Amino acid sequence: MADSDTAGASPAPPPSEPPEPRARWRVRLRHLLFGAPLELEDKTLLKHLSLVPFLAWVGLGADGLSSSAYGPEESFKALQSHTYLAIGLAIATALTVFLISSCYSRIIEKFPHGGGGYVVSTKLLGPRIGLISGCALLVDYVLTVTVSVAAAGNALRDVLRQVMPFPESWVIPVDIALLVLLVVLNLRGVKESVVALVPIFLLFLVTHAALIVGGIVAHLGDAGPRAQALAGDFQRDWNDPGFGPMAMVLLFLKAFSLGGGTYTGIEAVSNSMSILREPRVRTAKTTMRYMAISLAFVASGLILCYLLWDIRPLAVGEKETMNSLLARSVTADLPGGKVLVFLALISEAALLLVAAQAGFIAGPRTLANLAIDSWAPRRFAALSERLTTQNGVVSMAVASLVALLYAARASGAGHDGHGGSDVIGRLVTMYSINVFLTFALSMLAMTIYWSRTTKDPELRARRLALFITGTVVCTSILAVTVVEKFTEGGWVTIAVTGACVAACIVVRRHYVDVAKKLSALYSDLAHLPLPDGGVMRAPDPTQPTAVVLVSTWGGLGIHTVLNVFRSFPDHFKNVLFVSVGVIDSGAFKGDHAVEGLEQRTESMLRRYVDLARRLGVPSGHKLTIGTDAVEAAEELCREVAKEFPRSTFFAGKVIFKDEGILQRFLHNETAVTLQKRLHFGGLTMVILPARVY
């Protein structure tokens, strides 16, 4: 204690500036790769970072559009030789896209702050159901990134083989390189990553629009004879005793359901409202409209073209997709046809990479929403200096890498085009199941909501009809997909999602238990017999000053203040409260987010100031706003040390009797990390324990 008293009484040496060239080079390299820190004081910051409808369509709509590389093909294959059903299938696909998009547009109206299926299910069906929806989405986005990167790597391999040798051993390193590229882009910021991918998105739209329109127009001349032939096939199967109407209906429903991968990605807009330009609801609905029109056109157009050009599933080789066969058939007699095929296929492969980008946008935000509600470690709600969900992006990349390596192992040597196609198909099935689980829960929640609403009966009737239809369609697709594909990856989805739910329950239970202990501590301290009024004079910078770092008003902070005076009686003549208002995913939701956070932080600090004054000690406060609590607190402490040279810094830390990996992971080490930095700079900091176990 004597050492601490001496340290507190003697002037602290001036804060040292880090002179190391290596440190400066690390900062420069970080800024080069990920961009310079953003100025939180900039009132137009959110406007510069947010996405207008077109960019949102690129960043969030790519997931849905990229599904045209496998969704329509899976659906058409299920028809087998009964391809006349493709006309109804194309119509049903387009209508389903518009149905789900319309439902999510209405969800956006009800939940304008985002969160998608997780928030909808949590608010309307309860936290546990919301957790299931959130975990399903989280696993879905990991698999979206995985399958997109794997498919893009396969396509890139096949393209490069046309001009150079490409050993199979290079495939996995190329996939990992693509994954790292996406991580870097997303750590720089959402808008930067989306803008970089715009040319790929536009190339895909142009080439596929030309392919579909050209494929349909080329067959307009024989529309009559072709329609008669299809009608004859329909009539034959209808009257066939061994097939008949019921078998036709069941086959159609099976094909329709197995094409469920086509609709993945539609929910991404409602999950990512925080990155959209104000007015967000209007921006989101416009984005949904763009997504619905483009996806319905491409998916249904491809199905129709498969039929018109007689692209038979049985004719597809292991290394050639139906889209590739269609592109070669349509452009066979055109000058420069090979170039058009190359552009169409390379844009399709590239769009799969853009789809992985959509997973990197929506996945970390879903994880952040879970963290804000204490289902996941709270560090996943933190934002980087570029205002990205950095921890979530990195975690998504690690999980995707694990899934990618598992897929490569399951398929043999580096998803080589034989096993690789099977693995990618299995991954598509896995994430289709989770998407439709979230869809079904969201539609059910909104159906219950509108069934209980008494206002505006006419609007209520329309909304009920919409969401009941959506519930029936999504539940049917989910059920058929699980039954048909249970042994082909469906069970893995259920197992992984269940494990994710179980882990979240463990995390939440831990946070709740700790909160109860801290609440009990606070309830004991809240009834301290303190006089009204107190000392009102300002702190004297020449006197020993206790600088107490606090984050919230509560038992831990009060306990720390009292421990300072109990541990160092009659020594400190001032107390100064400092805090960092941390911008996280829960706070950064509007143009006035920083201003509002600053006001809340100052209000909290004033309560501590009032407490200290009533204890008879001159008191004041200082605050700053930042995205990294440690860096912002270090800078603020250095400023305080210059103004109050006889300062000793204090922070409270929750201490567990048996601290293990779980406790260290779920509770940040802000106090310990800050203590090391301040000690290195010549400042004294003491951590006071708060035992809650």
* Residue 8 domain-assigned (yes or no): no
User: Quick one: DSSP state of residue 384?
Assistant: -
Do 552 and 417 fall within a single domain?
Answer: no
- Confidence band (pLDDT; 50, 70, 90) for 426? low
Strand 619-626 and strand 574-582: the pairing is parallel
Task: Check whether 44 has a pLDDT greater than 50.
Answer: no
Q: For residue 472, give both structure tokens.
A: 């029936």
Q: Which of 38-42, 139-143, 344-348 has the lowest mean pLDDT?
A: 38-42
Overall average pLDDT of the 467-474 stretch: 95
- For all residues of the chain together, what is the average pLDDT? 77
Q: Between 51 and 18, where is the model more confident? A: 51
Name the region of 570 (left: φ>0; alpha: ψ -120 to 50; beta: rest): left
Is residue 530 domain-shared with residue 423, that is, in the same domain? no
- Residue 26 clears pLDDT 70, i.e. is over it: no
Any idea which of 23-32, 114-123, 153-162 has the lowest mean pLDDT?
23-32
Q: Does 19 map to a domain?
A: no
pLDDT at 628: 61
Going by pLDDT thresholds of 50, 70 and 90, the confidence category of residue 38 is very low
* Whether the predicted pLDDT of 174 surpasses 80: no
Q: Which residues contact 356 (CB under 8 A, 6 or more apart)?
A: 144, 145, 148, 149, 152, 178, 179, 182, 400
Rounded average pLDDT over 299-318: 78
Distances (CA, A) of 674 to 555, 611, 686: 21, 25, 10
Give the number of C-alpha atoms closer than 13 A to the C-alpha of residue 510, restricted to the C-beta side: 21
Band the pLDDT of 39: cuts 50, 70, 90: very low
Which domain range does residue 181 map to?
50-429
Both tokens assigned to 10:
């003697």
Task: Please tell me the predicted confidence (pLDDT) of residue 528.
Answer: 59
Strand arrangement, sheet containing 574-582: 619-626, 574-582, 545-549, 647-655, 685-691
Verify that 308 and 197 share a domain, yes or no.
yes
Backbone angles phi, psi at 506, to 5 degrees: -60, -45
Based on the domain organization, do 415 and 562 belong to the same domain? no
76 and 220 share one domain? yes
Distance CA 178, CA 400 (A): 12
In this predicted model, what pLDDT tens digit does every residue of 182-214 receive, in sequence order?
777 666 544 445 566 678 788 888 888 999 999
**Which of 375, 395, 429 is the C-terminal boundary of a domain?**
429
pLDDT (mean) for 40-68 = 63
> Of 100-114, 289-303, 366-380, where does mean pLDDT reach its minimum?
366-380
**Position of tokens 């416009």?**
286
Q: pLDDT tens digits, residue range 396-425?
A: 888 888 877 776 665 554 444 444 445 565
Smallest CA-to-CA distance from 299 within 98, 152, 137 is with 98
3-state secondary structure string, 197-212?
HHHHHHHHHHHHHHHH
Q: What is the pLDDT of residue 672?
A: 79
Q: Within 13 Å, how many C-alpha atoms sit on residue 183's CB side?
A: 19
For residue 336, what are its two tokens? 């420069």
* pLDDT category of residue 597 using cuts at 50, 70 and 90: confident
**Would you say residue 458 has pLDDT above 80?**
yes
> 531 falls in which pLDDT band (50, 70, 90)?
low
Confidence tier at 31 by pLDDT (50, 70, 90): very low
Secondary structure element (H or E) that encloses residue 651, with its range: strand 647-655
Q: Give every CB contact of residue 648 below 8 A, 6+ residues apart in sequence.
A: 4, 7, 8, 544, 545, 546, 547, 572, 684, 685, 686
305 touches 219 (CB < 8 A)? no
Residue 167 has pLDDT above 90, yes or no: no
Asked if 318 contacts 418 with a C-beta cutoff of 8 angstroms, the reply is yes
Helical axes 490-525 vs 419-452, angle rounded to 10°: 50
| In-domain check, residue 13 | no
Is position 446 within any domain? no
Domain boundary among 396, 429, 462: 429
Res. 566: pLDDT tops 70? yes
Give the pLDDT band of residue 535 (cuts 50, 70, 90).
Answer: low
**Is residue 187 assigned to a domain?**
yes
**Within 10 Å of residue 313's Cβ, how many Cβ atoms?**
17
Give how many domains the chain has, as a whole number: 2
pLDDT per position as a tens digit, 328-385: 889 888 887 778 877 887 887 777 777 776 677 777 777 877 887 888 887 776 544 3
Give the range among 133-142, 591-600, 621-630 with minimum mean pLDDT.
Answer: 591-600
Query: Which of 370, 404, 429 is the last residue before a domain boundary?
Result: 429
**Residue 32 lies inside a defined structural domain of this protein:** no
Provide DSSP, 525-586. HTT----SS---SPP-TTS-EEEEE-SSSSHHHHHHHHHHHHHSTTT-SEEEEEEEEE-BTT
We report the CATH number of the domain holding residue 413 as 1.20.1740.10
Is residue 338 assigned to a domain? yes
Instruction: Kindly state the DSSP code that residue 382 receives in the 8-state scheme.
Output: B
Across the range 491-495, mean pLDDT stands at 85
CA dihedral 261, 263, 264, 270 (to 10 degrees): -170
The answer to whether residues 636 and 580 touch, using CB atoms and an 8 Å cutoff, is yes
The confidence score (pLDDT) of residue 48 equals 42
Locate the DSSP E strands across 252-372: none
State whether 413 and 546 are in the same domain.
no
CA–CA separation, 688 and 693 (whole Å): 15
Res. 28 pLDDT band, cuts 50 70 90: low
Which one, of 511, 570, 575, lies nearest residue 549 by Cα? 575
- Residue 203 belongs to some domain of the structure: yes
pLDDT of residue 359: 74
Residue 483, H or E segment? helix 457-485
Domain harbouring 617, CATH code? 3.40.50.620
256 and 386 co-located in one domain: yes
pLDDT of residue 234: 92
Q: How confident is the model at residue 96 (pLDDT cuts 50, 70, 90)?
A: very high
Residue that is written with structure tokens 């199979």 in the block? 168
Band of residue 74 on the pLDDT scale cut at 50, 70, 90 = confident
Residue 260 tokens, joined: 């469920």
Residues 6+ positions from 453 with CB-CB distance below 8 Å: 460
Same structural domain, 141 and 275: yes
